[in-house]
Structure 1
């Protein structure tokens, strides 16, 4: 039986704490967008009530999601000099949904500069410090509490928090005001933005501006736990760093519970603010077939947080003469979908936890053991769901804009370096590098993540030598950077195109047929030679076959409909779509059997706007897959891979000399 989703989050929200909103629903109306989902009408005005940070959950918390006030800041950045304190803003907005979405109640366009406002009370029982948390705000957020600036964050995918205790009116209502700047692809800006575009077209979608993940308060002591880095290997070794809000010394109690139990498996003390390791005897391992997780309690002084981990080791090694990805020392063929994570009603924001998990369960049902999270970062509860369901994740860094994406009056030809000519490439690269570090540090404790992707298809990637002197590619520089932050995972430096030989993967994109680890290749790829390339061969994208759908399930935007015929291949009926998928599967199976293919990514989980090549339609109401056929075809890939690697199917894990706790 699969573990239930959101166990930790649900426990915290319903037993330990209280998830509620103090905001009025004055004037909020759900907009009628181009398409909805079965969950759209169920959202209501208190969305996402679950505790949002399952790997560091506190008991005393308060959800600030709900109806806030909104104003389009037509005066631009100059309005920061005169914030709208103590005044009502004209429009209601439902947080946490993108301003461009129907669920936000705004469904705006060109929301470059925006004001948000709400009020809140602090529970009288809270006697410690009060922290204000944001799951994510796209793109640049300036936060005020009671007319005082308390935080500033740059980056549309990253969580941040701030201690607001000294700015509170503890015995009366408090005012929270947020100013957001989101240029998306406006000329003169080049930011990590993934697939967003101010004027969407085919593979570029409606942007997401503003607050799009949960906002919440929590109570914590002055000396408190600020972050947990936890990695647990298949050999039982646990690497942990307990970060605190100050440069504290001393220790924290670290308790690992038995799976699905409050019983203690290991209890030890770990020093705070420094890396520490210990070994757990004979842990049950995490894998797609058995996604065992261990709940964790960490106590430091009067602060207690709940977390979890899974014991697994990701590595690579030669199996039967071929370089392979190894999970817990064994070759596991990685097969998943390109997962965009877009929703017709909420855009970047799923309408609910149930809706978000629905996609993952649909993939797991037919046998996918992996998905590639494509140039987007999800809410923390998404990663917990993948951990619990047993889905390996290939996590992309959100891409910079491609050279042809900039919104400008003058079309630009592709420059030698895929950065806008109007910006300093070094400045753009420096910010990309900074946010890449944030990505890895923010997500590196989730067991399901097995691989980091730095660049997708050359989007924002300098094509040639980076320093001009040593001809060192930026791919290699950033691969070393990521490896230093997280040495426990594999790195796909460049997925598709402009491969400079860095990282752990030789990654080819080809539609519709695969070219996975083969000696034949096409434009923007190269043949794979296992004798000279010691990397893993993977098909980073393939498939992409589409099937047009009725108006009922279509994204009802003329420009998107007009781009449907740009799909790599369109099949006349759902039945033919399944036939074509079966044929493509046979090609991939042959390449696994005869060559060096170790993994593949089918495009894609769902339709998105004008793309109609999903397992599911964009509204999630139609599942195109003949489930029994897909189960059989996917299992055949695993069986073929196992047979190919059977002469050396088990690799010995390195011995550890640490003392067992």
Structure 2
């Protein structure tokens, strides 16, 4: 045997051996305390859809085969794979066990086998994906089943027609994600992370699961509270209804029945909620609701959900300035800019406890609101906000920052908008409504934010009007800190580092005055930074006391701004993210940089400042 042949055989054995090695987290970066709690056999085992719950489901998170191949190879599932990847952690993340970049010139393949029992075949069988970034093609037993574009909205495929004989079935997923080389929404992902731009997230990053349902089943609900009428507006979409089938709705408060109604196919329900217990940060009361399909008195399908009675609106005060109202009363909304990144999981929190931790700490610090910044979270994050009473402003993830600019008149002189390509515009117009629709039932969300700081901002009046029409029950912040156009409910200023506000004399009579970002006070904490040096902050401090002293000065200025008409403010930011060290907490969540009790005291005084 020649030396070259022997070397090639030896190399193939080494490569194969490495591909077959058991899962381990990629070393080299800081990690959270929850990383060690991740069970590779059952990561993120919690039920992923708390607004539409059925008891029967199968979690497909865990170790899948993966391969990274050149892009454009077609729809043929690879004959061999590079190794194992831990779903649902993006391939670039440490928790995936891979930690590799992909980019526009390559495709990422996933594969696994599943057992489908005869009981799961009796009705219909859905394969659900919480989120896959960005273009996903699903194959069942080698046959193409569905293609989905969109990195932030859930999607499903009914797979019964693709199943073969026997229990063992094959699922494969092909993903292409061009990151910042493409026009798609991507938030802060870039192929060359630096400053405020972070590591790409490619592939499956939320839970994958199977759900068997009856042939006749409930597909979705849309729930909108109306506290002025003491009622819940509910519509139910169902599939496979037969003549004579009825939809039964029961609303309860604990063990107490609030209302019960019955309707037919396509029915909408106006459910009375007498003397409603209003949802707020101080009292996040949730009602339960059960929706059933009945046939000749027999339950064919049933789901459980919940709702809250709350209202977000605007109205002028005695000074003629518009203010944001919660349940018809002014409440100053104050919270951090929350980007939802993790050093070990990137877009994906290691565990549900980790996902909950950020919200709980934000609440403990005395904030009553979170601005979810150019990212969408898994449904369970919003569920936790609903339970804990955390108001949420939801951004549309930005994208297409490389389009050509054109000038146009704005309300404050000259503004600018992007002249996006037809492809880019179509992608945005598909994904934003899909995101809004998927999140509609979460009462914690009170504000939609279509654009941030002119990042990809285009046709602002048109997009804002469409957003308002799609959901009249919430407020719309057309462009947070962006090109100011006379559209939407708010005028939103970004100002670093000091707090400031839009001019009330110019805007206050017609729009809510908002400080959409400020602060950015940085404190790198040794042993808890993404990299050892060259970290970045808007304004850096050497110790926690200096940081707190500066922050206290900012908080002492806020009551005067509130009295002048400021309705809300957003502080940058919840945690450090990669090289950014502006967080209230370190990126690994192991250090809170200012005393929680001090923050809570400062915030409670400010939030309770009257507007008049």
Superposition TM-score, scaled by structure 1 size = 0.84
Q: How far, CA to CA, are the matches of 1:341 and 1:252 in structure 2?
A: 38
Report runs of 4+ in structure 1 exceeding 4 Å deviation: 246-250, 413-420
Deviation at 1:319, TM superposition (A): 2.2
- Give 2:132's aligned residue: 137
Q: 1:7-406 residue pairs with structure 2 within 5 A?
A: 27-45=22-40, 46-74=42-70, 76-77=71-72, 79-84=73-78, 87-112=79-104, 113-126=107-120, 127-169=122-164, 171-186=166-181, 189-235=182-228, 236-245=230-239, 251-258=246-253, 261-301=254-294, 302-321=300-319, 322-403=321-402
Matched-pair contact (CA < 8 Å) for 1:325–1:598: yes
Matched-pair contact (CA < 8 Å) for 1:99–1:111: no
- Residue 313 of structure 2: SS of its match in structure 1? strand
- Residue 359 of structure 1: SS of its match in structure 2? helix
Q: How far, CA to CA, are the matches of 2:178 and 2:451 in structure 1?
A: 21
Deviations 1:562-588 (A, max 9, x none): 2x24x2110121110011100111122
Deviation at 1:530, TM superposition (A): 6.0
443-452 vs 477-486, greater mean Cα deviation: 477-486
- Give 1:498's aligned residue: 483
Matched-pair contact (CA < 8 Å) for 1:340–1:373: yes
Deviation at 1:247, TM superposition (A): 7.7
- Residue 74 of structure 2: SS of its match in structure 1? helix
Deviation at 1:388, TM superposition (A): 0.3
Q: How far, CA to CA, are the matches of 2:417 and 2:200 in structure 1?
A: 21
Alignment root-mean-square deviation, CA: 2.0
Deviations 1:114-147 (A, max 9, x none): 1000000123433221110000000010001111
Identify if the C-alpha distance between structure 1 residues 400 and 246 changes in structure 2 by more than 3 Å, giving closer, same or farther. Answer: farther
Matched-pair contact (CA < 8 Å) for 1:323–1:530: no
Deviation at 1:154, TM superposition (A): 0.4
- Give 1:477's aligned residue: 462
Tell me how many residue pairs correspond in the alignment.
574
Deviation at 1:637, TM superposition (A): 1.1
Q: 1:458-537 residue pairs with structure 2 within 5 A?
A: 458-462=454-458, 474-517=459-502, 527-529=503-505, 533-537=509-513
141-150 vs 315-324, greater mean Cα deviation: 315-324
Structure 2: 5+ residue stretches without partners: 1-18, 295-299, 408-415
Matched-pair contact (CA < 8 Å) for 1:401–1:419: no
Structure 1: 5+ residue stretches without partners: 1-23, 407-412, 463-473, 518-526, 646-661
Determine if the alignment matches structure 1 residue 457 to structure 2 residue 453: yes
Q: How far, CA to CA, are the matches of 1:528 and 1:254 in structure 2?
A: 46
Deviation at 1:151, TM superposition (A): 1.4
- Residue 26 of structure 2: SS of its match in structure 1? coil
Deviations 1:268-289 (A, max 9, x none): 1144435432322112111100
Deviations 1:360-409 (A, max 9, x none): 00010121100000010000000000000000000001111323xx9xxx
Deviation at 1:111, TM superposition (A): 4.5
Out of 516, 523, 545, which is 2:521 matched to? 545
Q: How far, CA to CA, are the matches of 1:532 and 1:111 in structure 2?
A: 45
- Residue 268 of structure 1: SS of its match in structure 2? strand
Structure ranking higher in strand proportion:
2
Q: How far, CA to CA, are the matches of 2:327 and 2:258 in structure 1?
A: 21
Matched-pair contact (CA < 8 Å) for 1:33–1:345: no
621-630 vs 154-163, greater mean Cα deviation: 621-630
535-544 vs 299-308, greater mean Cα deviation: 299-308
Out of 591, 602, 609, which is 1:622 matched to? 591
Q: How far, CA to CA, are the matches of 2:37 and 2:233 in structure 1?
A: 42
Determine if the alignment matches structure 1 residue 428 to structure 2 residue 443: no
Deviation at 1:627, TM superposition (A): 1.9
- Residue 344 of structure 1: SS of its match in structure 2? coil
Deviations 1:299-321 (A, max 9, x none): 11411111111111111111232
Matched-pair contact (CA < 8 Å) for 2:103–2:179: no
Matched-pair contact (CA < 8 Å) for 1:55–1:307: yes
- Residue 370 of structure 2: SS of its match in structure 1? strand
Q: How far, CA to CA, are the matches of 2:569 and 2:507 in structure 1?
A: 21
261-270 vs 347-356, greater mean Cα deviation: 261-270
Matched-pair contact (CA < 8 Å) for 1:538–1:600: yes
Q: How far, CA to CA, are the matches of 2:426 and 2:330 in structure 1?
A: 36
Deviation at 1:546, TM superposition (A): 0.5
Matched-pair contact (CA < 8 Å) for 1:247–1:273: no
Deviations 1:301-352 (A, max 9, x none): 4111111111111111112322111111101110010000000000000001
Determine if the alignment matches structure 1 residue 601 to structure 2 residue 570: yes
Deviations 1:154-213 (A, max 9, x none): 000110011111211353210000000101112xx2111111111111101001100000
Deviation at 1:483, TM superposition (A): 1.5
Identify if the C-alpha distance between structure 1 residues 531 and 434 changes in structure 2 by more than 3 Å, giving closer, same or farther. Answer: closer
- Give 1:580's aligned residue: 550
Q: How far, CA to CA, are the matches of 1:140 and 1:296 in structure 2?
A: 35
Determine if the alignment matches structure 1 residue 555 to structure 2 residue 530: yes
